[in-house]
Amino acid sequence: MALSTSAPALAGLRPVLNALPALTRALVQPASAAATTLFGNVEQAPKDPILGITEKFLADTNPIKMNLGVGAYRDDNGQPVVLDAVREAERRVAGSHFMEYLPIGGLRDFISESVKLAYSDDAAVLREGQVAAVQSLSGTGSCRLFADFQKRFMPGTKVFIPEPTWSNHFNIWRDAGVEFAKYRYYKPDTRGLDMDGFLEDIKRAPAGSVFLLHACAHNPTGVDPTPEQWRQLSRAMLERGHFPLFDMAYQGFASGDCDRDAASIRIFLGDGHRLGVSQSYAKNMGLYGQRVGCLSVVCDNKRDASAVESQLKAIARPMYSNPPLHGALLVTKILQDNDLKQLWFKEVKGMADRIISMRSLLRKRLEEAGSPLPWGHITDQIGMFAYSGMSPEMVDALAAQHHIYMTRNGRISMAGVNTKNVGRLAEAMHAVTSGKL
């Protein structure tokens, strides 16, 4: 509101006084026009590196476009798959009168089947009641629950994360307020495991650190330690008193055999480690959107397991109260019924085998396209992704010139490759790499 004074002495000051309210606003608020609204100073968050690719893919109107960014399984026609075992479990669950809240820790039978799948039916730690476990919101939710548990009950410890890793790992531990560091995992020269660097970093890390390990099908590199290397890593971590946390997002999906893919965990268990396991049924049962997973922690005894489990529930309660029911019922139906379980084993092997065969075909097509580069790593790697070695600029060229989308680290989701598009993918890769990686 403008000032109205008639005093002649103030007359000269009138323009300044009239401008005061605006001046005051300018001093307490940022200059941008947007800042005049309640959330005007909230900046756009950076796009998620993986989900941002899907947005670009959707915006591309060319019908030949290919999305090899997101890690979701597709059949040979590029279509999403609902497993027969899941369909049958849904039929059995349909019409169930049970729609109540689950307990905070989730569905009891689901949890006991999940830990058996991870540790094996006859694991001593299960018999002895040493395992604390809760149902979680898929693999991401398991990792986050553990990260919050680490913050509260392993004070001052850091988490060591492989370089490279699934990009969300950093966000999870950062948001939980846990300090993280990287350990050497992948050697670009050999496109294999940096075993010496890994062992050295285990030795150098402060005793009692948490080491985040991919149980199988390492994302994004597709490079897994051999059983003998896992044994060496286990011994090295035991010596330093580190706590291994296995992120197992792909059990069965790597080799087609759920026991073989859990070998790393079982080697560590055999060595007497206290450890954690994050399980997800997103990929191996195709239950992506159901958000169904399990977090378990192997403790020294039954008392500790009970205390840890109670604290995991105390962390979950204010975050989401209790986990979702439907997916957990499906998994339980499958794992409790031997026929359904065998059908699922067959189907998960089918998915793993299709990916393995696409690796061979992609390599063959690259060679047929005349690429002089050594593409052996594509068939040496395992799991959903091929870590191609292509640079961010090559990936950009694939998108701009060939309508093929993937993460800028050159990671190809092999689940999106099929007999119809593999030839075009190989030609395009040959074109953008033009003889060098």
173 is catalytic: no
Q: Which of 247, 261, 344, 375 is catalytic?
A: 247
Residue number with CB closer to ligand PLP (245 or 325): 245
List 173, 194, 283, 333, catalytic entry:
283
Q: Given the complex with ligand PLP, which of 294 and 325 has the nearer CB atom? A: 294
The catalytic position among 166, 230, 344, 375 is: 166
Instruction: Choose between 117 and 305: whose C-beta lies nearer to ligand PLP.
Output: 117
Nearest approach in angstroms of CB 239 to ligand PLP is 26
Q: In whole angstroms, how close is the CB of 88 to ligand PLP at the nearest point? A: 22
Active site residue 396: no
| SS3 per-residue string spanning the chain | CCCCCCCHHHHCCHHHHHHHHHHHHHHHCCCCHHHHCCCCCCCCCCCCCCHHHHHHHHHCCCCCCEECCCCCCECCCCCECCCHHHHHHHHHHCCCCCCCCCCCCCCHHHHHHHHHHHHCCCCHHHHCCCEEEEEECHHHHHHHHHHHHHHHHCCCCCEEEEECCCCHHHHHHHHCCCCEEEEECEECCCCEECHHHHHHHHHHCCCCCEEEEECCCCCCCCCCCCHHHHHHHHHHHHHHCCEEEEEECCCCCCCCCHHHHCHHHHHHHHCCCCCEEEEECCCCCCCHHHCCEEEEEECCCHHHHHHHHHHHHHHHHHHHCCCCCHHHHHHHHHHHCHHHHHHHHHHHHHHHHHHHHHHHHHHHHHHHCCCCCCCHHHHHCCCCEEECCCCHHHHHHHHHHHCEECCCCCEEEHHHCCCCCHHHHHHHHHHHHCCCC
The nearer residue to ligand PLP, 161 or 297, going by C-beta atoms, is: 161
Which CB sits closer to ligand PLP, 218 or 273? Answer: 218
Q: State the nearest-atom distance from the C-beta of 272 to ligand PLP, in Å.
A: 26
For residue 283, indicate whether it is catalytic.
Answer: yes
**Where do contacts with ligand PLP occur on this chain (CB under 6 A)?**
71, 138-140, 166, 214, 219, 247, 249, 280, 282, 293
Tell me which residues are annotated as active site.
Answer: 166, 247, 283
